[in-house]
Amino acid sequence: MLNNVLTLTNLTKYYGKILALNNVSFSVPEGSVFGILGPNGSGKTTMLGIVMDILKPTSGSFTFYGQPGHANMRKQIGTLLETPNFYHYLSGERNLQIAAEIKGKGHDQVDEVLKKVDLLERKTSKFSTYSLGMKQRLAIASALLGGPKVLVFDEPTNGLDPVGISEIRTLIQRLALEGKTIIMASHMLDEVEKVCTHVAILKRGNLLTAGDVDEILVNDEIVEVSAANSLLLATVLKEMSGYNNIKQVDNDFHLLYPPAKADLEAINRYCFKKGVVLTYLRLKKKSLETKFLELTNQ
Amino acid sequence: MLSLLKIEWMKVKHYRTFWLLSLLYLISLYGINFIAYRIQDARPKKNDMANLLIGNPPFQFPEVWKTVSYMSSFMLFIPGLLIIISLTNEFSFKTHRQNIIDGWSRHEFIVVKMLLTLILAVVSTVAVFITAICFGLFEGGSDFSIENIEFIGYFFVQAISCTAVGLLFGLLFKRSGIAIGVFFLYVVVLENMLAGLLNKYVYNSGRFLPLETTDNLIPFPFLRNIVNPYLTVTDPLLLLVLSAVYLTIYYFICLKKFEVEDL
Q: Determine the Cα–Cα distance for residues B224 and B148; give it in Å rounded to an integer.
A: 15
Q: Determine the Cα–Cα distance for residues A286 and A291; give it in Å rounded to an integer.
A: 7
SS (H, E, C) chain B: CHHHHHHHHHHHHCCHHHHHHHHHHHHHHHHHHHHHHHHHHCCCCCCHHHHHHHCCCCCCCCHHHHHHHHHHHHHCHHHHHHHHHHHHHHHHHCHHHHHHHHCCCHHHHHHHHHHHHHHHHHHHHHHHHHHHHHHHHHHCCCCCCCCCCHHHHHHHHHHHHHHHHHHHHHHHHCCHHHHHHHHHHHHHHHHHHHHHHHHHHCCCHHHHCHHHHHHCCCCCCCCHHHHHHHCCCCCHHHHHHHHHHHHHHHHHHHHHHHHHCCC
- A276: confidence class by pLDDT, cuts 50, 70, 90: confident
CB A119 within 8 A of CB A137: yes
- What residue type is assigned to position A19 of the chain? L
Position with higher pLDDT, A170 vs A288: A170
B101/A54 CB distance under 8 A: yes
Q: Rounded mean pLDDT of A71-79?
A: 90
Q: Determine the Cα–Cα distance for residues A145 and A100; give it in Å rounded to an integer.
A: 7
* pLDDT for residue B230: 66
pLDDT in tens, A5-15: 899 999 999 99
pLDDT tops 70 at residue A2: no
Per this entry, what is the length of chain A? 298
- Residue B182, CA distances (Å) to A277, B15, B174, B212 in order: 82, 24, 12, 17
A88 at the B interface (CB within 8 A)?
A: yes
* pLDDT for residue A264: 86
B9 to chain A: nearest residue by CA?
A: A98
Q: Determine the Cα–Cα distance for residues A100 and A106; give it in Å rounded to an integer.
A: 6
Cross-strand pairs, A4? A29
- Name the interface residues of B facing A (CB cutoff 8 Å): 3, 6-7, 10-11, 14-17, 89, 93-95, 97-106, 108, 260-263
pLDDT in tens, B175-233: 999 999 999 999 888 988 888 888 888 887 888 888 888 888 888 777 766 666 666 67
A89/B103 CB distance under 8 A: no
pLDDT in tens, A185-225: 887 777 777 788 898 888 888 888 888 877 777 667 788 88
CB A55 within 8 A of CB B262: yes
CB pairs under 8 A between A and B: 77
pLDDT tops 80 at residue A278: yes
Non-local (6+) Cβ contacts of B72 within 8 A are: B29, B32, B33, B124, B127, B128, B131, B155
Q: Rounded mean pLDDT of A46-59?
A: 92
Q: Strand A33-37 relative to strand A59-64: parallel, antiparallel, unpaired?
A: unpaired
- A266: confidence class by pLDDT, cuts 50, 70, 90: confident
A71/B260 CB distance under 8 A: no
* pLDDT for residue A238: 85
A71/B104 CB distance under 8 A: yes
* pLDDT for residue A296: 65
SS (H, E, C) chain A: CCCEEEEEEEEEEEECCEEEEEEEEEEEECCCEEEEECCCCCCHHHHHHHHCCCCCCCEEEEEECCEECCHHHHHCEEEECCCCCCCCCCEHHHHHHHHHHHHCCCCCHHHHHHHHCCCHHHCCCEHHHCCHHHHHHHHHHHHHCCCCCEEEEECCCCCCCHHHHHHHHHHHHHHHHCCCEEEEEECCHHHHHHHCCEEEEEECCEEEEEEEHHHHCCCCEEEEEEECCHHHHHHHHHHCCCCCEEEEECCEEEEEECCCCCCHHHHHHHHHHCCCCEEEEEEEECCHHHHHHHHHCC
ipTM score of the complex?
0.86
Position with higher pLDDT, B122 vs B230: B122
Query: For chain A, how long is the longest CA-to-CA vector?
Result: 75
Q: How many CA atoms lie within 13 A of A71 on its CB side?
A: 15
Quote the mean pLDDT of chain B.
89
Q: Rounded mean pLDDT of A39-60?
A: 90
SS (H, E, C) A47-116: HHHHHCCCCCCCEEEEEECCEECCHHHHHCEEEECCCCCCCCCCEHHHHHHHHHHHHCCCCCHHHHHHHH
Closest-CA distance of chain A to residue B112, Å: 13
Closest-CA distance of chain B to residue A296, Å: 28
How many other C-beta atoms can be found within 10 angstroms of the C-beta atom of residue B248?
11
* pLDDT for residue A295: 66
Judged by average pLDDT, the poorest of A82-91, A103-112, B37-46, B223-232 is: B223-232
* pLDDT for residue A108: 86
Is the alpha carbon torsion for A69, A75, A77, A82 positive or negative? positive
B10/A98 CB distance under 8 A: yes
**What strands lie across the sheet with A150-154, from one edge to the other?**
A77-80, A150-154, A181-186, A33-37, A198-203, A206-212
Compare CB distances from A52 to B6, B16, B101 and report the shortest one's residue.
B101
- A1: confidence class by pLDDT, cuts 50, 70, 90: very low
Q: Determine the Cα–Cα distance for residues B3 and A245; give it in Å rounded to an integer.
A: 66
A56 at the B interface (CB within 8 A)?
A: yes
- Residue A294, CA distances (Å) to A216, A217, B175 in order: 12, 11, 42
Stated pTM of the model? 0.84
A86 at the B interface (CB within 8 A)?
A: yes
Judged by average pLDDT, the poorest of A185-194, B3-12, B120-129 is: A185-194
* pLDDT for residue A245: 81
B95/A102 CB distance under 8 A: no
Long-range contacts of range A232-238, CB-CB < 8 Å, 24 or more positions apart?
A: A232/A275, A232/A276, A233/A271, A233/A276, A233/A278, A236/A270, A236/A271, A236/A274, A236/A275, A236/A276, A237/A271
Instruction: Compute chain A's Rg from CA coordinates.
Output: 24
Q: Determine the Cα–Cα distance for residues A240 and B62; give it in Å rounded to an integer.
A: 110
B95/A72 CB distance under 8 A: no
First to last CA, chain B: 23
pLDDT in tens, B34-90: 999 898 887 777 777 777 767 778 888 888 999 999 999 999 999 999 999 999 999
